[in-house]
Structure 1
Amino acid sequence: MTYLTQNFLPSQMSEAYSPQLQSAVMSAFPTILQAHEATKIPAIVHVAQAYDEDVAVKWVQQQLLAVNEFAGAKAKLTDFQLDELAIQIRLEYGYLNLFEFILFCARLRSGKYEDFYGSIDPMRILKSLDAFCDDRRREINRAYEEKERIAREREYEESKKNSISFEDWYLSKSEEERAKTREVPYFAKMAKEIEERERLKSGENNPNDNNG
């Protein structure tokens, strides 16, 4: 929000994120995740907070007007529909950053979501936006899960580097500590096998062997 007011007047913000970007945004951001992760891109709600609600709503209207003009439908959005639709989008989807919403409009123009059969229907636009946000959530969740998986693998590899085997740990202990370890049923068999190997290495006979 501070970034906006320090660097842009409302008119400059509208020009920086103009509807003309709809033509190129799909090449710049092939996925929603890339648009979501773009740095220093304000959300629609930030525009409202930095300036006022009217600036945010008018910005949404400008983007919708570009879709309205681009669509081949005979019946376009009326002024009333455009006003109400922009307000509803601002209130329900204000968390979208500006590139995400521009990308949505570009995808809407390309026919990725709902088709307009003879007229542009505000409800179809909202249904398409809902589908876009579902795709957005899936992409963000997949990216988060992948980062978590990589972090777990890295943590596991680091733990392997810093860990020692049970045998090395056992042999590093004093005889008193080893005796306590052998009293634990889970470790008793492993400890016995380690002791046997150590006796064989040192050339000692197993005291249980029959020498006779």
Structure 2
Amino acid sequence: MKEENKATLGVVREMSKMILSRYYFLKLSELMLFFQRLKYGDYGEMYGCIDAVRIMRALRTFFDERNQIIEKIEQRERERKMEEDRKNAVSYEEYTEIKKRKNNHKVAG
């Protein structure tokens, strides 16, 4: 990148403030991944100079992708939990029988 195309410290600070105000919850590792992908051109070409609008638009795309991945992980966890619950489930008839046995045990004891 040519010297004249590099962002000034003021531009970098302003971009940092914009990102922090909107995406304050992102981890540093997530931001590092975003900037790596941005640098590789995953969100379109960056022609020389820093364009805050393009970066913020790319960050929005990254955020949407991140949310989709998180939702898939959470869905798999919900499905795993439901399957585990099914394995431990009892029918209503079994439940009433267990309850009846416990009540009989209490009376006898």
TM-score (normalised: structure 1): 0.40
Using the TM superposition, give the Cα deviation of residue 82 of structure 1 relative to its aligned residue in structure 2, in angstroms: 1.2
Residue identity in the other structure for 1:88: M
1:56-90, Cα deviation, whole Å (9 max, x unpaired): xxxxxxxxxxxxxxx57962223322121111111
CA distance in 2, matches of 1:157, 1:83: 54
Give unmatched runs, 5+ long, in structure 2.
98-109
Match of 1:81 among 5, 11, 23: 11
Aligned position for 2:58: 128
Displacement after TM superposition at 1:98 (Å) = 1.0
**What amino acid sits opposite 1:106 in the alignment?**
Q
Taking the aligned partners of 2:71 and 2:60, their CA distance within structure 1 comes to 16
Give yes or no for the alignment of 1:140 onto 2:70.
yes
Q: Does 1:96 align with 2:12?
A: no
Pairwise CA RMSD of aligned residues? 2.5
Return the match for 1:119 from 26, 49, 53.
49
Considering fraction of residues, name the structure with more helix.
2
Question: Which of 1 and 2 has greater Rg?
Answer: 1
Determine what percentage of the aligned residue pairs are the same residue.
Answer: 28
Distance across 1 between alignment mates of 2:72 and 2:2: 35
Equivalent residue number for residue 88 of structure 2 = 158
Greater relative CO (CA pairs within 8 A, separation 6+): 2
Q: Closer, same or farther in 2 for the Cα pair 1:119/1:158, shift >3 Å?
A: same
Q: Is the 8 A contact 1:76 1:120 kept in 2?
A: yes
Aligned positions of 1:1-212 closer than 5 A = 75-159=5-89, 162-163=90-91
Aligned length: 95
Q: Which runs of 5+ in 1 are unaligned?
A: 1-70, 170-212
